[in-house]
Amino acid sequence: MPLTMPPADEAVLARRAEIVAALRRMVPGEGVIASDQAMRPYESDGLTAYRQLPMVVVLPENTAQVASVLGYCHREGIKVVPRGAGTSLSGGALPLGDGVLLGLAKFNRIREIDFDSRVAVVEPGVTNLAVSEAVEHAGFYYAPDPSSQIACTIGGNLAENSGGVHCLKYGVTTNNVLGCELVLMTGEIVRLGGKHLDAAGYDLLGVVTGSEGLLGVVTEVTVRILKKPPCARAALIGFPTSEDGGACVARIIGAGIIPGGMEMMDGPAIRAAEDFVHAGYPLNVEALLIVELDGPRAEVDHLLDRVQDIARACNAVTCRVSNSEEERLLFWAGRKAAFPAVGRISPDYYCMDGTIPRAKLPLVLKRMQELSAKYGLRVANVFHAGDGNLHPLILYDANKPGELERAEKFGADILLLCVEVGGVLTGEHGVGVEKRDLMPAMFSESDLDQQQRLKCAFDDKSLLNPGKVFPTLHRCAELGRMHVHEGRVAFPDIPRF
């Protein structure tokens, strides 16, 4: 799909050598990368369909350097794209040819672990999994667990408001971060939140979380850590139809049970996963549900009995409950390998990420099959069933002319379908460049204008990650204009006394 990015600033490009020299003075040593060959690894993120070499890569080591670089770029009118580990699936870290790519990889230290306050203070380049590993010895963990957790970083998690498979019960990133240090595009440094609960003023941390690197650059994050539940057991339940599986999910929640994880796979995903990891998944079912309960043993056993009763009442044809940690992990192995498993049966696949009201699942799956026939491309579905977050995997072959374009159109149709049934364009992967031009399907011009005005409050020259999230770039001055016509609005004829 042709992607229109902000036009390159020729005046900036003409000054490239001078800009690189200035950046080298701010970030000495090997922190400034300017050769095409060395910049190549930064040309795309997890959305590899789009590639662009940046003007220059800068890898600062401390907050003061980040502040110098941003302040300089603000004064000089140079665009900046922040980047964590580059695992974004929506092109959030796609470089700009006339912009600085600001990589936070060197911010990789855990600064403090405070078990009394149940928080960890980490630099943004620390991986998600490394936080849990650092507190594991005391029986704690960090709850959000995106599937890329071995590689993705906390800074990127905050920028994207990452989820994971446990977020119905434990929340997403925004529910698990307490504070951050943020460098504004002007180079000013602010602290939002802290180790304590609740913002003193506006909840700016809440709006920075999930802002896709458009509002500021995070240089430190304080996260909440939780005591790891003493027991976790999973049930593996097969259904003849997705309607039965969906009904079971609704009845589990309707019965007042909030599982630690609840994942569903459709027929194609089940078969691909089983062929790959041999987890013992039933192959004669069209929907497979993994329901994991965690907590005290007495609670887990009690609720698992109820879940099995509900499953039987929902026409489950198979139901197994894990009796050991090995078995529980085996149940998960197939689900966790679903993406690579699909990768084995197709040269390429395109991973989508919409959220729908759960009850619409059978309808959405049916319509998706119709779209699959229309586009002549197969689709496999994995579904965070508890929270309605759907990941359709569209199978295609990039070497066949036109298949990538068809896959992208198919994907866009799926996301529009999600919005049509009351859902949203993206549950956890972000808008980035991928869904940018679909935003008007969900938001009116007035909605988008208010969001962009907020951006102007943080970034008055629209220099930070421009071209992402918003389909149309507006100048801040233009957005600031009032559309109310002084003196010409009639005295409103609304009730008064």
Partner 1 sequence: MADNLTPHDTAEVERAVQWALAEGKTFELVSRGTKRAIGRPAQWDATLDLSGLSGVLLYEPEELVLSVKAATPLAEIEALLSASQQQLAFEPMDYGPILGAPPDAGTIGGAIAANLSGPRRIKAGAARDHFLGVTAVSGRGATFKSGGRVVKNVTGYDLCKLLAGSWGTLAAMTEVTVKTLPRAETEESVLVFGLDDGSACRAMTAAMGSFADVSGAAHLPAAVARRMPQAAGGNAAATAFRLEGVAPSVAQRKSLLQALLSPLGSLDVLGESDSHALWRAIRDATPFAADGPAGGRDLWRISALPARAADAGRVLAERVGAALLYDWAGGLIWAALPASADAGEPLVREAAVAAGGHATLIRAPAAVRAVVAVFAPEPAPLAALTRRVRESFDPHGVLNAGRMWAGL
Which of the residues 337 through 376 are near partner 1 (CB under 8 A)? 355-359
Q: How many residues bind partner 1 (CB under 8 A)?
A: 109
CB closer to partner 1, 33 vs 310: 310
Considering the rule CB under 8 A, would residue 440 count as an interface residue with partner 1? no
Our CB check for partner 1 shows the closer of 181 and 348 to be: 181
Among residues 454, 461, 471, 474, the one that binds partner 1 under rule CB under 8 A: 454
Site residues for partner 1, window 299-328 (CB under 8 A)? 299, 301-303
N residues, the chain = 497
Least distance between partner 1 and beta carbon 187 (Å): 10
What does the block give as tokens for 278?
């041999």
φ and ψ of 171, to 5 deg? 85, 170
8 vs 199, which CB is nearer to partner 1? 199
Considering only residues 124 to 183 of the shown chain, the ones binding partner 1 according to CB under 8 A are: 138, 160-161, 163, 167-168, 171-172, 174-175
Asked if 365 contacts 267 with a C-beta cutoff of 8 angstroms, the reply is no
Binding range to partner 1, per CB under 8 A, among 19-27, 150-158, 315-323, 422-430: 422-430
> Which of positions 102-121 make contact with partner 1 (CB under 8 A)?
114-118
Q: How far is the CB of 207 from partner 1 (least distance, A)?
A: 5
Binders of partner 1 among 244-273, rule CB under 8 A? 250-251, 253-254, 256-258
Shortest Cβ distance from residue 32 to partner 1 (Å)? Answer: 27
138 contacts 115 by C-beta, under 8 angstroms: yes
∠ CA 291-297-303, rounded to 5°: 45
CA-nearest of 191, 481, 443 to 435 is 443
Work out how close the CB of 397 gets to partner 1 at its nearest, in angstroms, rounded to a whole number. 30
d(CA 62, CA 160): 22
Is residue 443 near partner 1 by the rule CB under 8 A? yes
Query: In 10 A of CB 465, how many CB atoms?
Result: 29
Strand order in the sheet with 177-183: 110-114, 119-122, 217-224, 177-183, 189-193
Contacts of 127 (CB under 8 A, 6+ apart): 85, 149, 150, 151, 152, 153, 154
Establish if 71 lies at the interface with partner 1 (CB under 8 A): no
β-pairing, 99-103 vs 79-83, is: parallel
DSSP designation for 152: -
Q: 319, 333, 424, 437: which one contacts partner 1 (CB under 8 A)?
A: 424
Taking the least distance from each CB to partner 1, the nearer of 74 and 267 is 74
Strand-strand pairing, 119-122 and 110-114: antiparallel
Q: Which of residues 468-497 bind partner 1 (CB under 8 A)?
A: 469, 480, 482-492, 494-497
CA quadruple 423, 429, 432, 435: dihedral sign:
negative
Q: Contact with partner 1 (CB under 8 A): which of 79, 384, 391, 468?
A: 384
Q: How far is CA 420 from CA 15, 129, 356, 357, 413, in A?
A: 47, 36, 9, 11, 10
Contact letters for partner 1, residues 202-221 (x by CB under 8 A): xxxxxx-xxx----------
